Structure 1
């Protein structure tokens, strides 16, 4: 079992035996759990509150989810440690151990972070594995997650509404692909209707254009498709904006994230923003909206685009440029 050794000042494998000790203060007396841990080098012991703080500090250093963050998940979705462990396909006491000092694996930690950040993902998990928990626990947690989802729906920005539309229109969008589709939608919206769809700036990262807020929201999916609530949640998008998004989803959303990345690497806005950056190097340089305006206006003129369906000509042109140099 992994525990924090006060003598070694680090997490080590220890044999642990719990004892009950009396903690007294001026106002009250309470039992406290003392967990002596004996590592391979020293014997150390301490009270659980101090142990939890030390473990949380260590978890923060190595970017693992903290015990208090696990408690927040349980409260947010009105679910107990045991039922959530079962929903995740873990042993029933796994979350209890993580909440009281044991270190989660990196994969388990990332899964818990994803659940914390993405209510739609948790709802999908709950629906697909409800047979693993009691009916009462299921209904309580379902009500809680729906309340969370309702609050989030009210808080959607214009860019987040664009994301909802893309997720509904395209199939199996990864975070990498989503970033490129947003970039194309923003550019073509400006070219066809003389104004951008949303105000957020796009950054020229090594793997192509990135909207940082969307990156942070979906980063835990990695290379997996985004499992998001695909209900119609874009009431503030105009008819013209929806048409652009649907066209981008149809004519660009059929390609993988890596292909879309290569497409954006062929385009002037990304290349201009990285002109002073070494290939493959990290950068947060903003892709200037003026650069996008000039480029996508020239693309529309080049292909004599009349209808939004003509966007497909640019997709085909980029593929031709990529594979037939």
Structure 2
């Protein structure tokens, strides 16, 4: 048990240190924030895309390692947990922190409607697959999931074209960085090299973390479903939770925070989930898009409530409501036995 605790704590510490999202690296000359340097040197929206992509790399690595070990139920739980954590925990914290400083949090009405629609559509695809395939046989579910996994990335490509090309004007001001820059940004090759190194380190720590799950289940009262839905996503989101301080100190704008959460959910739903199905196809693991019905209901409620709360304006109370819903879901799933046991 001591070895288990040591392994798990080391994994969590490494992932916390390897922040691919927003954490700043202090140097003698300047504050090195790779994501800010990328956004300064690239277009605002393209920089935002790389910001989200590298931020999701921990989720991708953890899910991939878990899939290779044949823990398909855990992968399903983790993907859903990542989306729920982003919608309720991360967005709730940011709304609360922003709302403490500003009474009403404005958000461009057109952009809010577009982001809410895309987020709802992408997450609803997973909900629909889970509902339709719930009573189907395994062969049909697997075949349908693989066909859908080939088409869903195309939707994501169209989404990128919409955001990065045809309707970029909707997001330019959201991702726009302050003109004042005290220090010259680091070169793009150096920034990308730094981020790649962090991805490799994240992979090593994620592998240790996944290997400690079995022992954790044996020595604790937590089910595998709870670990996949809540514990692992929270560990992976530690850098984003840590970055909430940027909201308070004005280093991030509220519209940008909303866009980050929306982009994260869309990328997980339309790219990471189908990619894992294709990867499972290649390595001989029957990964499908037929998620557990209970998890599907939880995701639907999270997306629906977020769509209601994002209506062009927000405040600190909406943040409290999101956090309360997340806490209630956590207590409910903690009381369940393993919902993926069958």
Same fold (TM over 0.5): no
Q: Normalized against structure 1, the TM-score is what?
A: 0.22
The structure whose residues are more often strand, as a share, is 1
The structure whose residues are more often helix, as a share, is 2
Q: Which has the higher contact order (CA 8 A, sep 6+)?
A: 2
